[in-house]
Amino acid sequence: MPHIVTDNCRLCRFTDCVEVCPVECFHADEERTYIDPDVCIDCGACIPACPVRAIYDTEDMPEEFVPWIAINAERAATLPVLSARQPALPTAADRQKELGF
């Protein structure tokens, strides 16, 4: 079972995660990132990299995030790979504050 990006990433998209992923399995739309479950090798490197704690290991996460498994799989399949770090969204700083990180 792979890793997933959850709602905290929305409007934030710091993409620190992309930089540490050894297999380039992050995909993105304008709002946030998604992990391709077929490519993710579960190394966990992205978890501590995310400044807003958006990423979880599906083997080790609160129940509430279960719906995100399907969302990541579906969105990743249709969106392009992000292979390099991007500038954070302009809303990122506010969003980070709002989330309390």
Partner 1 sequence: MSVHVSDTSVVRGACPHDCPDTCAFLYHVEDGKLVEVTGDPDHPMTRGGLCVKLKNFAEHHYNPDRLLYPMKRVGAKGSGQFERISWDEALAEIKSRWTDIIDEFGAQAIMPHVYLGHQGTLNGLTSGDAFFNRLGSSVAEKTYCESGSSTAWIMTVGPTGGLDLESLAYSKYIIVWGMNMTSTNLHAWPFVLEAKKKGAKVVVIDPVRTRTAKQADWHIPIKPGTDAALALGMMNIIIAEDLYDHDYVEQYTLGFEELKDRAAEYPPEKVSAITGIPVADILTLAREYAATQPSAIRQGVALERSRGGGQAIRAITCLPALTGAWRHVGGGAVEMPIWEFPTKFDAICRPDWIKPGTRVVNELDLGAALTGELDLDPPIKSLFVYNSNPVSQAPDQAKIIAGLQREDLFTVASELFISDTARYADILLPATMQAEQYDLMVTWGHLYMTLNQPAIEAPGECVPNVEMFRRLAKTMGFDDPYWDRTDEEMLQDFYDWDAPQLQGITLEKLKEKGYMRLNVGDADKRAPHAEGNFKTPSGKCEFKASAAADGNFVVPVWRSMYEGEQSGEPVDPLPDYLPPFESPHSNPELAARYPLNIVSPKPHAFLNTQYGNETVQQRRQGEQVVLLHPDDAAGRGIEAGSYVRVFNDRGHFEGRAELTDDMMPGLVMANVGYWPSLTRTGTSVNAISSGKHCSLGQAGTYCDNLVEVARV
Summarize as ranges the residues that interact with partner 1 (CB under 8 A).
1, 20-24, 38-39, 41-49, 53, 57, 59-60, 83
In the complex with partner 1, the residue whose CB is nearer, 1 or 66, is: 1
Report the nearest approach of ligand SF4 to the CB of residue 54 (Å). 4
| Binding partner of 5, given ligand SF4, partner 1, none, CB within 5-8 angstroms per partner class | ligand SF4
Report the nearest approach of ligand SF4 to the CB of residue 55 (Å). 5
By CB atoms closer than 10 A (0-12, 13-18, 19+), residue 11 is buried
| Residues forming the site for ligand SF4 (CB under 6 A) | 3, 5, 9, 12-17, 20-21, 23, 25, 32-33, 35, 40-46, 49-50, 52, 54-55
What is the rounded distance in angstroms from the CA atom of residue 36 to the CA atom of residue 77? 7
CB burial readout 71-84, b (16+ within 10 A) else e: bbbebbeeeeebee
Report the nearest approach of ligand SF4 to the CB of residue 57 (Å). 7
